[in-house]
Amino acid sequence: MRFHVDDHHVATITLNRPHRRNAISVRMLQQLAEVLTQADDSRDVRAIVLTGAGKGFCSGLDIKDAMAGTGIGSEGSGATVPWQNARSLPTSILFEIDTPIIAAVNGAAAGYGLDLALGCDMRILGESSRLLPGFAKRGVVPESGGTWYLPRLVGWAKAAEIGFLGRDIDAAGALELGLANAVVPDDELVAEATSWAREIAANAPLAIRAMKRLYRHGLTEDFPSHTHHVLLQTMQLFGTKDFFEGISSFAEGRDPDFQGR
């Protein structure tokens, strides 16, 4: 796992097991949970880019390790430990964190890798990237968030089509379905995702975090309850230095310099 924070408050997390197309091992699962939490807790991080080293974003859980008795879901080497507390898993942490995160999907996102991409706020795909929802062809379900995200992202009928048929989805198809925010040339993928992340990071971080939190809560709240929470959050933001900076910079015709306070 590689983790880097640049001077623009953007953290880049890179799944770094390219010889296995970044298939998720027990250790990777633990490391990813750790760096996601670290990024969300850091005042220096205002946006995150998640990508994979080499030719693939993530090929899913490591089946070879599991079959050898050392991988996730097997009995050996404490490999079942990460599953005992679902809230500590990366896909659950993705849902809970307030820092915006963009998936820069290079190559294939399959199985767990697809659920990982769906758990990000936005997805940018390279032209040769593919989403591989072949769970039904393996006798399983999207176990790490896909059954929750897909109906909300594409609607019930399209989610059923994607899940039940299990067909590969190319980058153009993902864009048409709304599963991708943008498709760019492969060699421009990380740069484009980083550019988006830097643009987010230049905005008021307290407002961005509050907005993401409200989006999340709005999925399960009725409208009156939600608008009440929005009002409370708005009143808190009115008291921040960032709000004053936003108003002052607009009036003065300059770019704002937000400090997250």
Residue span of the structural domain in which 232 resides:
205-252
Residue 229 and residue 188 share a domain:
no
Predicted pLDDT at 138: 83
The whole-chain average pLDDT of the chain stands at 91
Predicted pLDDT at 249: 97
Predicted pLDDT at 73: 52
Residue 248 and residue 139 share a domain:
no
Residue 190 and residue 133 share a domain:
yes
Distance of CA 1 to the CA centre of its chain: 16
Global pTM exceeds 0.85: yes
Say whether pLDDT at 146 is over 80.
yes
Predicted pLDDT at 86: 58
Here the CATH number for the domain that contains residue 20 is 3.90.226.10
Residue 231 and residue 135 share a domain:
no
Question: Over the stretch 164-223, which tens digit does the pLDDT of each residue have?
Answer: 999 999 999 999 999 999 999 999 999 999 999 999 999 999 999 999 999 999 999 999
Predicted pLDDT at 38: 96
Q: Record the tokens describing residue 125, joined without a space.
A: 């795909």
Residue 213 and residue 173 share a domain:
no
Predicted pLDDT at 44: 96
Helical ranges in 42-170 per DSSP H: 63-67, 90-96, 112-118, 146-154, 156-165
| Residue that terminates a domain, selected from 201, 218, 239 | 201
Predicted pLDDT at 144: 86
Q: Within a domain: residue 247?
A: yes
In the chain, pLDDT over 70 holds for what percent of residues? Answer: 90
Exposure string for 85-116, b = 16+ CB within 10 A, e = fewer: eeebbbbbbbeebebbbbbbbbbbbbbbbbbb
Residue 45 and residue 153 share a domain:
yes
Residue 211 and residue 146 share a domain:
no
Residue 246 and residue 186 share a domain:
no
Domain count, the chain: 2
Phi-psi region of 160 (alpha: psi -120 to 50; beta: other; left: phi over 0): alpha
Question: Over the stretch 84-98, which tens digit does the pLDDT of each residue have?
Answer: 555 678 989 999 999
Residue 211 and residue 195 share a domain:
no
Say whether pLDDT at 79 is over 70.
no
Question: Over the stretch 249-260, which tens digit does the pLDDT of each residue have?
Answer: 999 999 999 999
Q: Within a domain: residue 259?
A: no
Q: Within a domain: residue 149?
A: yes
Residue 210 and residue 181 share a domain:
no
Residue 109 and residue 12 share a domain:
yes
Predicted pLDDT at 137: 86
CB 258 within 8 A of CB 207: no
Q: Which of 215, 22, 217 has its CA nearest to residue 104?
A: 22
Residue 102 and residue 53 share a domain:
yes
Q: Within a domain: residue 260?
A: no
Here the CATH number for the domain that contains residue 210 is 1.10.12
Q: Within a domain: residue 121?
A: yes
